[in-house]
Amino acid sequence: MQTCLICDDHAMMREALAGAVALGWPAASVIQAADFPQAWSAAAMGPDLIICDLVMPGATPLEGIGRLRAAAPNAPVLVVTGNEEDEVLLALFRLGIAGFAPKTSKSAIIEAAIRLVLAGGRYLPPRIEELAARRVGGGDGVAAAVPAVRLTVRQIDVLKLIATGQSNKEIARDLDLSPATIKAHAAAAIAGLGAVNRTDAVVRARGMGLI
Protein backbone atom coordinates (compact mmCIF):
# COMPACT_ATOMS: atom_id res chain seq x y z
CA MET A 1 0.00 0.00 0.00
CA GLN A 2 1.21 3.53 -0.78
CA THR A 3 1.96 5.69 2.25
CA CYS A 4 2.08 9.38 3.07
CA LEU A 5 4.13 10.69 5.98
CA ILE A 6 2.68 13.82 7.62
CA CYS A 7 5.00 15.72 9.95
CA ASP A 8 3.76 18.56 12.15
CA ASP A 9 4.03 19.27 15.86
CA HIS A 10 0.38 20.32 16.07
CA ALA A 11 -2.13 17.46 16.14
CA MET A 12 -4.92 19.57 14.62
CA MET A 13 -2.72 20.48 11.65
CA ARG A 14 -1.76 16.85 11.12
CA GLU A 15 -5.42 15.89 11.03
CA ALA A 16 -6.22 18.72 8.60
CA LEU A 17 -3.43 17.59 6.29
CA ALA A 18 -4.59 13.99 6.59
CA GLY A 19 -8.00 15.17 5.42
CA ALA A 20 -6.46 16.85 2.37
CA VAL A 21 -4.54 13.65 1.61
CA ALA A 22 -7.76 11.62 1.87
CA LEU A 23 -9.36 13.86 -0.74
CA GLY A 24 -6.43 14.08 -3.13
CA TRP A 25 -5.05 10.57 -2.61
CA PRO A 26 -7.74 8.37 -1.05
CA ALA A 27 -5.83 5.10 -1.46
CA ALA A 28 -2.92 6.22 0.71
CA SER A 29 -2.15 5.05 4.23
CA VAL A 30 -1.14 7.97 6.49
CA ILE A 31 1.76 7.93 8.99
CA GLN A 32 2.18 10.84 11.39
CA ALA A 33 5.21 12.35 13.13
CA ALA A 34 5.25 15.16 15.72
CA ASP A 35 8.93 16.20 15.58
CA PHE A 36 11.96 15.90 13.32
CA PRO A 37 13.52 12.82 14.97
CA GLN A 38 10.21 10.96 14.57
CA ALA A 39 10.01 12.20 10.99
CA TRP A 40 13.52 10.97 10.13
CA SER A 41 12.77 7.55 11.61
CA ALA A 42 9.49 7.24 9.71
CA ALA A 43 11.08 8.51 6.49
CA ALA A 44 13.56 5.65 6.61
CA MET A 45 10.58 3.32 6.06
CA GLY A 46 10.25 4.67 2.51
CA PRO A 47 6.98 6.60 2.26
CA ASP A 48 5.72 7.58 -1.19
CA LEU A 49 5.11 11.21 -0.21
CA ILE A 50 6.18 13.39 2.73
CA ILE A 51 4.26 16.47 3.87
CA CYS A 52 6.24 18.35 6.47
CA ASP A 53 6.10 21.48 8.59
CA LEU A 54 9.26 23.55 8.56
CA VAL A 55 9.42 24.43 12.25
CA MET A 56 9.34 21.41 14.58
CA PRO A 57 11.23 20.25 17.70
CA GLY A 58 14.47 18.35 17.23
CA ALA A 59 16.34 20.38 14.61
CA THR A 60 16.60 23.70 12.83
CA PRO A 61 14.27 24.01 9.82
CA LEU A 62 16.82 23.49 7.06
CA GLU A 63 18.72 20.79 8.97
CA GLY A 64 15.43 19.00 9.61
CA ILE A 65 14.33 19.06 5.98
CA GLY A 66 17.82 18.21 4.75
CA ARG A 67 18.02 15.08 6.91
CA LEU A 68 14.48 14.18 5.90
CA ARG A 69 15.51 14.31 2.24
CA ALA A 70 18.57 12.20 3.04
CA ALA A 71 16.47 9.60 4.89
CA ALA A 72 14.01 9.25 2.00
CA PRO A 73 15.78 10.45 -1.18
CA ASN A 74 13.13 9.03 -3.49
CA ALA A 75 10.13 10.52 -1.70
CA PRO A 76 8.90 13.95 -2.83
CA VAL A 77 8.66 16.41 0.07
CA LEU A 78 5.90 19.02 0.19
CA VAL A 79 6.60 21.65 2.84
CA VAL A 80 3.54 23.23 4.46
CA THR A 81 4.48 26.05 6.80
CA GLY A 82 3.85 29.57 8.01
CA ASN A 83 7.46 30.65 7.37
CA GLU A 84 7.70 32.69 4.15
CA GLU A 85 11.13 34.32 4.54
CA ASP A 86 12.86 34.82 1.19
CA GLU A 87 16.10 33.02 1.96
CA VAL A 88 14.31 30.13 3.62
CA LEU A 89 12.09 29.54 0.58
CA LEU A 90 15.04 29.62 -1.79
CA ALA A 91 17.09 27.30 0.42
CA LEU A 92 14.21 24.81 0.49
CA PHE A 93 14.12 24.59 -3.28
CA ARG A 94 17.90 24.19 -3.39
CA LEU A 95 17.38 21.15 -1.14
CA GLY A 96 15.20 19.67 -3.87
CA ILE A 97 11.81 19.72 -2.20
CA ALA A 98 8.81 19.03 -4.41
CA GLY A 99 6.86 22.10 -3.35
CA PHE A 100 5.92 24.70 -0.80
CA ALA A 101 2.42 25.61 0.39
CA PRO A 102 1.67 28.26 3.05
CA LYS A 103 -0.38 27.04 5.99
CA THR A 104 -2.84 29.79 5.09
CA SER A 105 -3.67 27.96 1.85
CA LYS A 106 -7.20 26.68 1.47
CA SER A 107 -7.58 22.91 1.64
CA ALA A 108 -8.39 22.77 -2.09
CA ILE A 109 -5.00 24.32 -2.91
CA ILE A 110 -3.13 21.88 -0.67
CA GLU A 111 -5.11 19.01 -2.20
CA ALA A 112 -4.19 20.24 -5.70
CA ALA A 113 -0.54 20.58 -4.67
CA ILE A 114 -0.59 16.96 -3.46
CA ARG A 115 -2.04 15.80 -6.79
CA LEU A 116 0.57 17.77 -8.73
CA VAL A 117 3.48 16.41 -6.67
CA LEU A 118 2.22 12.85 -6.98
CA ALA A 119 2.06 13.34 -10.75
CA GLY A 120 5.76 14.21 -10.75
CA GLY A 121 5.41 18.00 -10.82
CA ARG A 122 6.51 20.69 -8.38
CA TYR A 123 4.19 23.17 -6.72
CA LEU A 124 5.42 26.67 -7.48
CA PRO A 125 3.73 29.37 -5.39
CA PRO A 126 3.73 32.97 -6.63
CA ARG A 127 6.27 33.98 -3.99
CA ILE A 128 8.97 31.71 -5.40
CA GLU A 129 8.24 32.92 -8.92
CA GLU A 130 8.66 36.54 -7.81
CA LEU A 131 11.93 35.78 -6.03
CA ALA A 132 13.31 33.97 -9.06
CA ALA A 133 12.34 36.82 -11.39
CA ARG A 134 14.16 39.34 -9.18
CA ARG A 135 17.32 37.24 -8.92
CA VAL A 136 17.76 35.79 -12.41
CA GLY A 137 21.23 36.72 -13.59
CA GLY A 138 22.47 37.20 -10.04
CA GLY A 139 24.67 34.11 -10.24
CA ASP A 140 23.18 32.38 -7.21
CA GLY A 141 21.60 29.49 -9.08
CA VAL A 142 18.04 30.47 -8.19
CA ALA A 143 16.79 30.17 -11.75
CA ALA A 144 18.05 26.59 -11.92
CA ALA A 145 16.24 25.78 -8.69
CA VAL A 146 12.86 26.87 -10.05
CA PRO A 147 11.29 24.41 -12.48
CA ALA A 148 9.41 25.38 -15.62
CA VAL A 149 5.62 25.26 -15.45
CA ARG A 150 4.28 22.07 -17.01
CA LEU A 151 0.58 21.49 -17.59
CA THR A 152 -1.07 18.52 -19.24
CA VAL A 153 -2.97 18.93 -22.50
CA ARG A 154 -6.23 18.36 -20.65
CA GLN A 155 -5.41 21.00 -18.04
CA ILE A 156 -4.75 23.50 -20.83
CA ASP A 157 -8.06 22.54 -22.47
CA VAL A 158 -9.84 23.20 -19.19
CA LEU A 159 -8.10 26.56 -18.74
CA LYS A 160 -9.10 27.63 -22.25
CA LEU A 161 -12.74 26.97 -21.42
CA ILE A 162 -12.45 28.62 -18.00
CA ALA A 163 -11.16 31.68 -19.88
CA THR A 164 -14.45 31.83 -21.78
CA GLY A 165 -16.37 32.03 -18.50
CA GLN A 166 -17.74 28.49 -18.49
CA SER A 167 -18.59 26.68 -15.26
CA ASN A 168 -17.24 23.23 -14.36
CA LYS A 169 -20.55 21.66 -15.42
CA GLU A 170 -20.44 23.38 -18.79
CA ILE A 171 -16.80 22.40 -19.33
CA ALA A 172 -17.60 18.82 -18.32
CA ARG A 173 -20.35 18.69 -20.93
CA ASP A 174 -18.10 20.08 -23.68
CA LEU A 175 -15.22 17.71 -22.89
CA ASP A 176 -17.45 14.73 -22.09
CA LEU A 177 -15.99 14.37 -18.60
CA SER A 178 -17.46 14.46 -15.10
CA PRO A 179 -17.62 17.78 -13.18
CA ALA A 180 -15.43 16.20 -10.48
CA THR A 181 -12.75 15.43 -13.05
CA ILE A 182 -12.91 18.99 -14.39
CA LYS A 183 -12.59 20.31 -10.84
CA ALA A 184 -9.47 18.18 -10.32
CA HIS A 185 -7.91 19.36 -13.60
CA ALA A 186 -8.66 22.99 -12.74
CA ALA A 187 -7.19 22.65 -9.25
CA ALA A 188 -4.04 21.00 -10.61
CA ALA A 189 -3.64 23.75 -13.21
CA ILE A 190 -4.06 26.44 -10.55
CA ALA A 191 -1.40 24.77 -8.39
CA GLY A 192 0.92 24.18 -11.34
CA LEU A 193 0.80 27.83 -12.32
CA GLY A 194 1.22 29.02 -8.74
CA ALA A 195 -2.09 30.85 -9.06
CA VAL A 196 -4.47 31.76 -6.25
CA ASN A 197 -7.74 31.13 -8.14
CA ARG A 198 -9.21 30.36 -11.58
CA THR A 199 -8.98 33.94 -12.84
CA ASP A 200 -5.35 34.24 -11.75
CA ALA A 201 -4.58 30.91 -13.46
CA VAL A 202 -6.03 32.17 -16.75
CA VAL A 203 -4.02 35.40 -16.53
CA ARG A 204 -0.80 33.51 -15.81
CA ALA A 205 -1.44 30.94 -18.56
CA ARG A 206 -2.07 33.70 -21.09
CA GLY A 207 1.07 35.53 -20.01
CA MET A 208 3.10 32.36 -20.61
CA GLY A 209 1.47 31.73 -23.98
CA LEU A 210 -0.14 28.48 -22.83
CA ILE A 211 -3.66 29.49 -23.89
The CATH number that applies at residue 105 is 3.40.50.2300
Are 15 and 80 within one domain? yes
Measured CA distances, 155 to 19, 96, 99, 205, 209 (Å): 24, 25, 19, 11, 14
Are 22 and 78 within one domain? yes
Are 123 and 161 within one domain? no
Are 109 and 185 within one domain? no
Range of the domain at 54: 3-144
Look at residues 122, 144, 166 and tell me which one is the last residue of a structural domain: 144
Percentage of residues of the chain with pLDDT beyond 90 = 40
Are 168 and 136 within one domain? no
Does residue 50 surpass a pLDDT of 90? yes
Look at residues 115, 144, 173 and tell me which one is the last residue of a structural domain: 144
What band does 129 get if pLDDT is binned at 50, 70 and 90?
A: low
Q: How confident is the model at residue 96, as a pLDDT?
A: 79
Are 140 and 155 within one domain? no
Are 32 and 132 within one domain? yes
Q: How confident is the model at residue 117, as a pLDDT?
A: 80
The CATH number that applies at residue 172 is 1.10.10.10
Are 200 and 157 within one domain? yes
Does residue 139 surpass a pLDDT of 60? no
Number of domains composing the chain: 2
Which range is most confident: 96-105, 118-127, 174-183? 174-183
| pLDDT tens-digit series, residues 80-117 | 887 667 677 777 777 778 888 878 777 777 887 887 78
Rounded (10°) angle between helices 198-207 and 153-163? 110
Average model confidence (pLDDT) across the chain: 83
Are 170 and 121 within one domain? no
Could you give the count of Cα atoms lying within 13 Å of 54 in the half-sphere of its Cβ?
Answer: 22
Q: How confident is the model at residue 105, as a pLDDT?
A: 76
Are 48 and 65 within one domain? yes
Look at residues 96, 123, 144 and tell me which one is the last residue of a structural domain: 144
* Alpha carbon distance 206, 163 (integer Å): 9
Are 92 and 132 within one domain? yes
Are 82 and 103 within one domain? yes
What secondary structure letter does DSSP report for 25?
-
